[in-house]
Every structure is written in C-alpha cells, then in structure tokens.
Amino acid sequence: MFKGRHFDRSVILLCVRWYLAYGLSLRDLEEMMAERGISVDHSTVHRWVTHFSPQLLERFNRRKRAVTRKWHVDETYVKARGRWTYLYRAIDSVGDTVEFWFSEHRDLPAAKQFFRKALTRHGRPDRVVIDGCQTNREAIVSCDTTNRLQDRSRRKLKTITIRKSPYLNNRIEQDHRRIKRRVRLMLGFKSIIAANIILSGIELVHMMRKRQARFAFNPNPSLAEQFDMLAA
C-alpha cells in the first residue's frame, strides 16, 4: 500500500487521519509537520488524502458489521465548484451508517443509484423512513420491485415498507451534522472528483467513531489504531 513512498507510512497515515477527522487545513498540516522536523508540502498531503482514502474505505468495508433492517434515508447539501451538490445517506435504527452516495444532481436517477448500492451491499431492509421527498419514495419502490423480480431464492419477499415522517427522520438529520461540521471548515471543494473522494474519507472516519468495523484482537480501538490496522 505504501511501497515506493518517499515518506514513512506513519507520517502519511497521521496526515490523512488528522485532515479527515479534525478541523485542520492542508496548510495547517504542512506547518504542524514542519514543527516536527518533517518537510512536506500541503499539495502532497492532499494527494495522500485522495489516494489513500478510497483504499482505506475498501478495507474498512470488508470488516464492517451488519446493519439493522430499519433504515433512515435522506440527502444533504455540499458545495463543490461553487454550486450545491448532494450527499445521499442512510443510517440504521441504532445510528450506524448504512451507505452514502455523492451526486451532482438531486433527482430520480441519483436516488436510484444510491438505493441500488445500499441494497447490493447490505441486502433488503424491512422498513425505510424518509422525510416526505417523493423522488426518494419513487426510487425505493422502483429498486424494491426490481430487486424482488431478480431474486432467485424462490422466497416470497415482502415489499419494503416506506414511512414518510420528517419527525422520525430527525435521527439522520442529527447524523448529517457531524459530516457537515467537517465539510464546512473546508470552504467547499474545488472539483467534483475531489469532493467525492474526500467525502468518502470523512464518512470513513465517522463510521470508525461509531465502531462499525470488527477487529478481532481489539474490540474498542482508537481512530489511530483503526487506521494502523487497516493499513497493515
């Protein structure tokens, strides 16, 4: 994973973790590393973040514990290239992150892509709570129908129950805030690709804080320990 890198693995992981987890800018990290006698440019830190975040997320997902059968689905706004884009998110009944999907548009195709990804990775929920958005309802109904038609298990699958309630969806609204708090300090993203990658890294750290991955020899690892174990 770190073969051929000029800097030590521990330095790279430290910069990636600090940038994704805390309210630090790339230039803050450049200065903090200089105080430790390590000369690293802020653009190098950015390349580390965009290169290693997807790899760490992929390894995390292999260890991710199962989610419950009740999901809360919603989308939130993120500014990229000077305009609003959308982050579709779902959490389960205990607050664990089910899935997320970044999109330039808030429409039916984007909602379908998000829900198909969630179904593929986590299976079918029994119930989905939404805030009243008709587009999300149509996407769930469409994906549910397709999923049941493609099922070859010969079981009679129940239709996913959809409940519209902005009050019941307060749980995911609160969960959005933890993502938005970190994004707000970044003052927007310069490109769509960078936004997609960095948001996935922020979601990764958020899931780590929820202890959503299984680590056999350490049931309650810190953020630093989780990064080390995923990078091993």
What are the chain's domains?
Answer: 9-63+213-231 (no CATH), 70-189 (3.30.420.10)
Q: Are strands 127-130 and 70-80 parallel, antiparallel or unpaired?
A: parallel
DSSP sequence for 137-200: HHHHHHHHHHHHHH--S---PPPPEEEE-TTTTHHHHHHHHHHHHHHHTTTSBS-HHHHHHHHH
Distance CA 212, CA 201 (A): 15
**Length of the chain as a residue count:** 232
pLDDT tens readout for residues 191-227: 999 999 999 999 999 999 999 999 877 888 999 999 9
φ, ψ (nearest 5 deg) of residue 101: -155, 125
Can you tell me which residue has the tokens 């987890």? 21
pLDDT tens readout for residues 152-169: 777 788 999 999 987 888
pLDDT at 197: 96
Nearest by Cα to 142 from 156, 129, 125, 159: 159
pLDDT at 133: 84
Q: State the amino acid at position 227 in one-letter form.
A: F
CB-neighbour burial class of residue 6 (10 A; exposed 0-12, middle 13-18, buried 19+): exposed
pLDDT at 100: 97
| pTM for this predicted structure | 0.93
Q: Provide CB contacts within 8 A for 190, sequence distance 6+.
A: 80, 81
Q: Is the backbone of residue 80 left (phi > 0), alpha (psi -120 to 50) or beta? A: beta
Helix axes 192-209, 223-231, angle to 10 degrees: 120
- Eight-state DSSP code of residue 4: T
pLDDT at 220: 87
